[in-house]
Amino acid sequence: MPKNKYAFFRGEIRPIEEAKVSVMTSAFNYGTGVFEGIRAFWNEEEKELFVFRMPEHYARFLRSCKILLLDLPYSVEDLCQITLELLRREGFQEDVYIRPLAYKASEEIGVRLHNLESDLAIFALPFEAYLPPGGIRAMVSSWRRIEDNAIPARAKITGAYVNSALAKTEAYLAGFDEAIVLNEDGQVAEGSAENLFLVRDGVLITPPITANILEGITRDTVMTLARDLGLPVVERPVDRTELYLAEEVFLTGTAAGLAPVVEIDHRKIGTGKPGPIFNSLRDLYERVVRGKEKKYRSWCTPVYSRPAA
């Protein structure tokens, strides 16, 4: 039994069993869809569910749509309202993961983006840990990150996740927890579904948005929190061997949260334990996402205390 009962599908909230597409669907055949991953966090003291940075996620969703010529009749505000309505119908009282999808819905042969119907689906389900807790053992993948001129990584394109899946499964089958993927220039891009940070000489470093990465919202959150904590933050190209020499390495993503990397290619990172900069950022992040830090409360949209639309 799925733990979620509903989906927004073909213009309305319906039972999840009705949210089904045909095998002839264009996006199923060619990967011509885009998606988001959004999380909502349960705050036990307030008995409230907070959606984290929802407008930012939907703004990125519409940017992904623009790149794939997906036309949706919804604004960021519309998408937020639909999501809140869906969450209220579900009535979750735990952490959840929200998955919006926009896709080429026409049922016909022909690889293209033009002259096809676009549609929207959204579902949400209780969240389960994406990466093992504790510390991650990673390998540098033999697969390279897709180039902006091949399949743009800054759009969350469903078909592009074949690249992530190849890297992730290679790492898993080799006995690692996660893959770190280099771009065609041989420099560090990101994890299979996370952005990457390293610490060198106390400076927090992350690859720039032109390194064929997803422009991560958790990445932006971490950079903002780090600067507010007075830490120097630099976006610059990163060489593979800098990973081995870093004091700390960690991954960031909606699903993954902040996850420490303790070993890469059989080299221990720093002391081999989560480092102090990581620990302070993760502690703050965990409070921020549950609406427990007043300064960042505007990032958290309450689900239940708002009047129903």
Stretch that binds ligand PY5, among 116-124, 193-201, 261-269, 292-300 (CB under 6 A): 193-201
Residue with tokens 């979620």: 4
35 vs 286: CA distance, rounded Å: 24
Catalytic residue among 20, 66, 104, 156: 156
Q: Do 204 and 231 touch, CB atoms closer than 8 A? A: yes
Supply the DSSP string of 104-130, one letter for each residue. E--BSS---SSS--EEEEEEEEE---S
Q: Do 73 and 140 touch, CB atoms closer than 8 A? A: no
Torsion of CA 293, 226, 261, 290, to 10 degrees: 10
Q: Which two tokens stand for residue 143?
A: 């697969």
Q: Of 34 and 116, which has the nearer Cβ to ligand PY5?
A: 34
33 makes contact with ligand PY5 (CB under 6 A): no
Instruction: Evaluate the CA torsion angle 23, 29, 34, 39 in order and state its sign.
Output: positive
141 makes contact with ligand PY5 (CB under 6 A): no
Stretch that binds ligand PY5, among 43-51, 82-90, 186-194, 231-239 (CB under 6 A): 186-194
Active-site residue, 156 included: yes
Amino acid at 18: E
145 vs 168: CA distance, rounded Å: 12
> Which of 85, 177, 190, 248 touches ligand PY5 by CB under 6 A?
190
219 makes contact with ligand PY5 (CB under 6 A): yes
List, in sequence order, every residue forming a beta bridge with 235; answer none if it has no partner. 206
Taking CB under 6 A as the rule, which mask of x and - marks residues 146-175 in contact with ligand PY5? Answer: ------------------x-----------
> Which of 135, 216, 270, 275 touches ligand PY5 by CB under 6 A?
216
Q: Of 106 and 221, which has the nearer Cβ to ligand PY5?
A: 221
Measured at the alpha carbon of residue 137, what is the angle toward residues 229 and 222, in degrees to the nearest 5? Answer: 20
> Which of 25, 83, 218, 301 touches ligand PY5 by CB under 6 A?
218
193 makes contact with ligand PY5 (CB under 6 A): yes
Q: Of 83 and 195, which has the nearer Cβ to ligand PY5?
A: 195
Q: Which two tokens stand for residue 167?
A: 């890297």
255 makes contact with ligand PY5 (CB under 6 A): yes
Q: How far is the CB of 48 from ligand PY5 (least distance, A)?
A: 22
The binding site for ligand PY5 (CB under 6 A) comprises: 37, 164, 190, 193-195, 214, 216-219, 252-256
Active site residue ranges: 156
